[in-house]
């Protein structure tokens, strides 16, 4: 009677972040095409006639369930090639596919997903691994990719963003987080303090274009926080597009940080909690 199969599951990259994976991580090409992928593997020691052709990975986050196909690797030239374990026994590897074809798709796409997932092999005994999607790093990675792009960023006839709030909103949307409206609306919605990377930095500003030192108490500019830097779409008279600059630099040659109110860092509140959306995801 065959020994019951026991699968050992792993992901690449491992741990809390998918950033930094070249083959299975960020896709190449234009910034608007960036996707984040994760390779899922399952290894099992058995004879060839005891193993299935493919397996199904089951991925759970709360009541949410997803499935990814795991394909048996039989090529002897692959890094996941079967490893002899004595007699007719081998260590076999099943993994998500890195190739796109009519019958398969790329590895697990986590670009628009969020939170922590438990991953195991469906219908078999297996280990369960945790994978936590680093949404903050996704936001910053995508925003950096637009550095130096035109202020009005177009794909074909469609404008993806123009103003500072359009840039911030587009970056969040590209990684599956929706924020609405202009800078003022974003500020009203974003009631939870958050100074971490990927959060939104709001500025009350003085306009030197219409009237020297004319103070606007309502936030009039928004940037994305990247540690001690900010990434924003500069709407100044110089017409600069998305730029990486020291945090709280001001806004080009038209705006400067407000003299009476400091900048504010916030993000949307996490549903049902007082902390921010990103902090809520941090704590999953």
Q: Give residue 218's pLDDT.
A: 63
Q: Give residue 247's pLDDT.
A: 80
Q: Give residue 257's pLDDT.
A: 37
What residues in the chain have per-residue pLDDT under 50? Answer: 1, 17-26, 103-104, 207-215, 237, 252-263
Class of domain 137-282: alpha beta
Give span(s): CATH 2.60.40, the chain: 6-133
Q: Give residue 248's pLDDT.
A: 73
Burial 87-125 (b: 16+ CB within 10 A, else e): eebbebbbbbbeeeeeeeeebbebbebbeebebbbeeee
Give span(s): CATH 3.90.1720.10, the chain: 137-282
Q: What is the pTM of this model?
A: 0.83
Q: Give residue 209's pLDDT.
A: 44
The CATH number given to 6-133 is 2.60.40
Q: Give residue 264's pLDDT.
A: 55
Q: Give residue 273's pLDDT.
A: 53
Q: Give residue 100's pLDDT.
A: 52
Q: Give residue 265's pLDDT.
A: 59
């Amino acid at each position: 009677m065959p020994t019951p199969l026991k699968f050992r599951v792993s992901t690449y990259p491992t741990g809390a972040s998918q950033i930094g994976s070249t083959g299975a991580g960020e896709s190449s090409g234009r910034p608007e095409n960036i996707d984040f992928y994760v390779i899922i593997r399952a290894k099992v020691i058995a004879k060839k006639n005891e193993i299935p052709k493919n397996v199904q990975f089951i991925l759970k986050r709360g009541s949410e369930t997803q499935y990814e196909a795991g394909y048996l690797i039989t090529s002897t030239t692959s890094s996941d090639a079967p490893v002899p374990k004595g007699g007719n026994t081998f260590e076999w590897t099943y993994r998500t596919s890195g190739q796109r074809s009519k019958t398969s798709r790329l590895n697990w796409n986590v670009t628009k997903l969020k939170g922590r997932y438990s991953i195991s092999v469906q219908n078999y005994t297996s280990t369960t691994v945790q994978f936590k999607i680093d949404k903050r790093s996704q936001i910053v990675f995508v925003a950096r990719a637009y550095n130096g792009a035109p202020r009005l960023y177009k794909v074909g006839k469609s404008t993806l963003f123009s103003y500072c709030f359009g840039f911030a909103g587009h970056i969040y949307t590209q990684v599956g987080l929706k924020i609405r409206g202009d800078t003022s609306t974003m500020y009203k919605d974003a009631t939870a303090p958050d100074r971490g990377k990927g959060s939104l930095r709001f500025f009350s500003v003085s306009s030197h274009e219409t009237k020297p030192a004319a103070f606007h108490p309502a936030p009039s500019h928004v940037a994305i926080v990247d540690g001690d830097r900010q990434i924003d779409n500069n709407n100044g008279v110089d017409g600069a597009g998305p730029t990486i600059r020291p945090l709280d630099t001001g806004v080009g040659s038209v705006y400067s940080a407000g003299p009476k109110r400091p900048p504010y860092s916030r993000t949307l509140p996490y549903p049902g909690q007082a902390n921010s959306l990103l902090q809520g995801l941090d704590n999953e």
